[in-house]
Amino acid sequence: MRDLKGLYSALLCSFHEDGTINEKGLRQIIRHNIDHNKMDGLYVGGSTGENFMLSTEEKKRIFEIAKDEAKDDVTLIAQVGSINLKESIELAKFATDLGYDALSAVTPFYYKFSFDEVRHYYESIISDVDNRMIIYFIPFLTGVNISIPQFEKLFANKKIVGVKFTQGDFYLLERMRKAFPDKLIFAGFDEMLLPATVLGIDGAIGSTYNVNAARARQIYELTRANKISEALEVQHITNDLITDILDNGLYGTIKLLLAEQGIEAGCCREPMKPYTPEMRARAKEIYKKYF
Binding residues with ligand MN9: total (CB under 6 A): 15
Does residue 208 touch ligand MN9 according to CB under 6 A? yes
Among 9, 28, 47, 88, binds ligand MN9 (CB under 6 A): 47
The residue from 59, 67, 164, 255 that is catalytic is 164
- Burial code of 209-220, b = ≥16 C-beta within 10 A, e = fewer? bbbbbebbbbbb
CB of 67 to ligand MN9, least distance (A): 21
With contacts defined by CB under 6 A, name the span among 63-71, 153-161, 186-194, 278-286 that binds ligand MN9: 186-194
Q: Which does 28 bind (CB under 5 to 8 A by kind): ligand MN9, ligand PYR, none?
A: none
Q: Which does 208 bind (CB under 5 to 8 A by kind): ligand MN9, ligand PYR, none?
A: ligand MN9
Q: Which does 191 bind (CB under 5 to 8 A by kind): ligand MN9, ligand PYR, none?
A: ligand MN9
Q: Which does 137 bind (CB under 5 to 8 A by kind): ligand PYR, ligand MN9, none?
A: none
Tell which phi-psi region holds residue 214, choosing left (phi > 0), alpha (psi between -120 and 50) or beta.
alpha
Half-sphere CA count of 120, side-chain side, radius 13 A: 8
Query: Does the active-site annotation cover 71?
Result: no
CB of 205 to ligand PYR, least distance (A): 4
∠ CA 79-176-160, nearest 5°, is 40
**Among 85, 46, 86, residue whose Cα is nearest residue 63:** 46
Q: Is 205 annotated as a binding residue?
A: yes
**Among 212, 159, 214, 217, residue whose Cα is nearest residue 184:** 159
How far is 155 from 157, CA to CA, in rounded Å?
5
Per-residue binding string, ligand MN9, 109-148, x by CB under 6 A, is: --------------------------------x-------
CB of 186 to ligand PYR, least distance (A): 9
Q: Which does 190 bind (CB under 5 to 8 A by kind): ligand PYR, ligand MN9, none?
A: ligand MN9
CB of 45 to ligand MN9, least distance (A): 13
Query: Does the active-site annotation cover 288?
Result: no
Q: Is 190 annotated as a binding residue?
A: yes
Among 33, 75, 142, 207, binds ligand MN9 (CB under 6 A): 207
CB closer to ligand PYR out of 108 and 206 = 206
CB closer to ligand PYR out of 18 and 41 = 41
Active site residues: 136, 164
Question: From the annotation, which residues make up the binding site?
Answer: 47-48, 166, 188, 190-191, 205, 207
Binding residues for pyruvate: 48, 205
For ligand MN9, the binding residues (CB under 6 A) are 10, 47-48, 141, 166, 188-191, 205-208, 242, 250
